[in-house]
Amino acid sequence: MYLSVTRMHSVVLLLCCSLFAAAPAIADEAELKSQIDTLRSQLNLLAEQQKSLAAQAAKAESDTSIGGYGEISYNNYRNDSSRNQADLKRFVLFVGHRFNDQLSFNSELEWEHAVASAEDKGETEVEQMYLNYQFANEMNLKTGLFLMPFGFLNQSHEPPVFYGVERNEVETRIIPSTWREGGIGLSGSSEKGMAWEAGIVTGFDSAKLDDASSPLAGSHQELQLARAHDLAFYGALNYRGTPGLTVGGALFSGNSTQGNADFRADTSKPDFSGINGRITLWELHTRWQKNDLDLQALYAKGKVSDADKMDNVLLNFNNTSTTARPYLPSEFYGWLLQAAYTVWRQGDMSVTPFMRIETFNTQSVMPAGFGADPANADHVSTLGLSFKPHPQVVYKADLQRYRDNPDNDRFNLGLGYMF
Amino acid sequence: MKPEAWLLLPLAAISTSVYATSYFTVEQAQQAMFPGETLVPAFVTLSELQLAQISKLAGNDHGAGTLKVWKAASGWFFVDEVVGKHEFITYALALHEDGSIKQIEIMDYRETRGYEVRTPGWRKQFIGKTLRDPLQLNQDIGNISGATLSCQHITEGVKRLLASYAVAIK
């Protein structure tokens, strides 16, 4: 770098000398003109070199980048104040490193609920860790543990970028945010704004299901000693060629019994031999942001094939072992509609009220003979606002009404930041 | 001895670094935005006072102390750099003689997402804008969901260049 700067100075000196050398009163006008043209090209190239030097300097300073986000919440239950809760929801750090122009590394570390230990309820996780190779034509290859490109929230959940203290139910219970899998993903983007992504990744382990109110969250593996007998494929398309508009969707499919691995490791567990249990999830979404209005709509649906076979195995297991393992749904779905409008701005500050209605049912179709728990379906309306003292900081307040399970009605407060 | 021979030597010695994600060199951007015109470098080192005036006019604080600007017959050509999420974005801005925006081109984009800022649809939103326009994301400049930071920073950079033109060049 230092050598180039010296070279630059000697070039400038040389140019000046050349100019003087060419300036006698009888100089040919055409010759002068061609010299000026050459000088101009050189100055452009110098500017180019200065640009690349500046970028190199910046690169040397910031090859490794740190970012993060965090949020704290307070929930006040209108019908049962003993459930009131204040929680440091998450503290997240991104650590990234650029090896060269093509190869970079990205990671996300998360601490949930402030304290993680054997006696505490907190969790510490590595949510993402992947290598990214950038081809020249805007194609990227990811290998490692990364987020699935489904919906809005799964890939964009920094507190200042979504509305409401709590993440919406559809993108928590149906799309299991924060959903990540390990494997390979290839993505690209066309000149007109059509982005696509597809890959082969680890899948779910339905033998792990521990929560009927969130079927996929209860069977995700998170690359934690993940069973890899059944890999899955996924694909996503998003059109963003019209500024302010996003239209997209995604599909995921993979078997989930993992070669009956849990039973083979421990025969005291349920025996799913001969069953595939293919889990398929698809979603469609659209977003329109213009003139301070932000509209979102999303529909997501999941299917578990062979849920009937698996639930019958679980039924026998529960009867003979006096446990109460939850049953898998055949189908589950949810949708949401949201509107937000920024009513006040001053400098970096803004106030944005919003309204959201959503429906979810994590047991919309159950195998014959298996009932659904009414607690696992509801229609929720949320009304609230975000106050941002800065685009990357937010204070939130909202009211949530659960039509069918009004014990869950609550008032929420939250704060969050991202950098 | 013909001076041209001496001039050619340093020309060969200067190299431009080529990134995998470099779409335009300075010269290519100039040719694309002012075809057939000759551009004269007119770099400006901004004083403290000018920087303060620019920050006030633009409503943001980013920006280098040197304005990389060229004068064309029919307007002005700027090269500037902003941060996306973690990486730098280099872009070129062309102004008409009257100071309104003629065109914007993304020269280098190194983030792994948000390439949509390069689409003609997103870039043409800036055409015709002046400092009298809000140049505000989600108001007159549409956002790209998932690339908000890139969109935000480029919009702020453009506003600051318009302010720099008003303060230091006009």
The complex's ipTM works out to 0.80
Token pair recorded at residue A108: 């996300």
Residue in B80, B77, B87 with CA at minimum distance from that of residue B21: B87
**Residue among A266, A252, A260 at smallest CA distance from A304:** A252
Q: Cα(A213)–Cα(A291) distance, rounded to whole angstroms?
A: 38
Q: What is the pLDDT of residues B37-56, one digit of tens each?
A: 999 999 999 888 998 999 98
On whether any CB of chain A is under 8 Å from the CB of B5, the answer is no
CB contact under 8 A, B7 and A39: yes
> Worst-scoring range by mean pLDDT, A76-80, B9-13, B98-102?
B9-13
* Cβ count within 10 A of residue A353: 18
Q: Show residues of chain B in contact with A21, CB under 8 Å.
A: 3
Please tell me the predicted confidence (pLDDT) of residue A36. 84
Please give the single-letter amino acid code of residue A204.
Answer: F
Residues facing residue A346 across a β-bridge: A349
Does residue B134 sit at the A interface (CB-CB below 8 Å)? no
Closest alpha carbon within chain B to A18: B3
B10 CB within 8 Å of a chain A CB: yes
Taking CA–CA distances from B90, the nearest residue in chain A reads A51
Chain A residue numbers with beta carbons less than 8 Å from the beta carbon of B16 are: 45, 48-49, 52
Q: Give the distance from residue A273's alpha carbon to the nearest chain B alpha carbon, in angstroms.
A: 42
Residue B10 has pLDDT above 50, yes or no: no
Q: Tell me which CATH code domain A64-418 carries.
A: 2.40.160.10
* B6, B16, B39 ranked by CB distance to A45: nearest: B16
Specify the pLDDT at position B19: 46
Give the distance from residue A233's alpha carbon to the nearest chain B alpha carbon, in angstroms: 21
Interface test with B, best of A39, A132, A150, A289 (most B CBs within 10 A): A289
Contacts of B13 in chain A (CB under 8 A): 7, 11
DSSP code at position A170:
I
* pLDDT score of B65: 81
Cβ pair B41:A104 closer than 8 A: no
pLDDT at B16 over 60: no
Residues 6+ apart with CB under 8 A from B115: A138, A189, A195, B109
Chain B nearest CA to A192, separation (Å): 6
Residue type, B75: G
Average of per-residue pLDDT across B134-138: 91
* pLDDT value, residue A112: 97
> Domain residues of chain A, as ranges?
1-61, 64-418
At residue A3, the pLDDT reads 43
Residue among B38, B121, B122 whose CB faces A40 most closely: B38
Q: What is the pTM (predicted TM-score) of this model?
A: 0.85
Q: Which of B14, B26, B145 sits opposite A51 (nearest CB)?
A: B26
pLDDT of residue B8 exceeding 60, the answer is no
Closest Cα of chain B to A109: distance in Å? 17
CA-CA-CA-CA dihedral for A104, B119, A46, B8, to nearest 10: 110
- Shortest CA gap B35–chain A (Å): 15
What is the structure's pLDDT at A7?
55
Q: How many CB atoms lie within 10 A of CB A373?
A: 13
At B101, list the tokens: 């925006």
CA angle A190, A287, A247 (to 5 degrees): 35
Which chain B positions have a beta carbon within 8 Å of A149's beta carbon?
none
Q: CA torsion sign, A218 to A223 to A224 to A229? A: positive
Low-confidence ranges of chain A (pLDDT < 70): 1-27, 51-52, 54-62
pLDDT (0 to 100) of residue A52: 67
Nearest CB partner across the interface for A42, out of B11, B81, B125: B11
Element (H, E) at A184: strand A180-189
Q: Which two tokens stand for residue A298?
A: 């999303």
